[in-house]
Amino acid sequence: MNQGMRTKKTTKDRIGLIGHVVANYPSPEAARAMIRNMVEAGVAVIEIQIPFSEPAADGPVFMAANHCALENGVTVNDAFTLMHEASKAHPNTDFVFMTYLNIVYKAGYAAFVKRAAESGARGLIVPDLPLEYVDRLDQEAKVFGLDNIRLIAPNTASDRLVLICKSARGFVYAVARSGVTGGATAVSTQLSGYTSKISALTPTPIGLGFGIRSPEDIMGLKGVSDYAIIGTAALQAWQTGGDATHRDFWKKIAKAANHS
């Protein structure tokens, strides 16, 4: 059985990295190449997204990627195959499934979590699962040694924030701003106050995402967040120049994060 995620708090001069791929987008070979590039750059956690027709938390880049993957015939089974291959090939990296509740519900909570664990996943991110309904998935995740990742937004009410932090496992996914993924986020003292409030309520590491795009952003997040979550900007690097541009993007991000 898995033992959950290996994430940890970081120091003020270094920040961990979390990356993201849509399963088999734009092709099975490309998705595997993106994962290799991230692993080589020292990315600690990689989200493998199961393509879904209505990815409500995703901005236009990932929404288009989801739709393209589905049009190309990518299935839930394909995502499990990718998870299995990636986790076996890169045992020092934590892989998590990012998906939407409809997929989990259709498979059955226990069946989905069991299969996720058997494929090598160490955690789950289900952004449209409300806090009021997390207990069932939490219970199954605990049985199979997975962490069910909590999301927090800047406008989360104080009482709700306490409840989320109390049950946080793996890492807290702190959404940097309201809206969907992809748009730029200004790194400011306001973010520091936001993450400090979370840190006061839980020892669980914080990953900050939505709009983190550049080495300058990474530098600004040191001491603010334990992990920087980068998705859209990395995918756009691939779309712009393929494997070489994607690899170079992550090398620059890793250098800013003090991985080299």
Residues serving a catalytic function are 47, 58
Residues 82/48, Cβ–Cβ less than 8 Å = yes
Listing DSSP states for 28-75 in one string gives: HHHHHHHHHHHHHTT-SEEEEEPP-S--TT--HHHHHHHHHHHHTT--
Question: What size, in residues, is the chain?
Answer: 260
3-state DSSP assignment of residue 222? strand
Residues 198/174, Cβ–Cβ less than 8 Å = yes
Cα dist from 187 to 39, 193, 260, whole Å: 25, 11, 23
Strand order, beta sheet including 16-22: 147-148, 123-125, 94-98, 45-49, 16-22, 227-229, 206-209, 172-175, 150-152
Listing DSSP states for 153-184 in one string gives: -TT--HHHHHHHHHT--S-EEEESSSS-TTS-
Residues 38/19, Cβ–Cβ less than 8 Å = yes
Residues 253/230, Cβ–Cβ less than 8 Å = yes
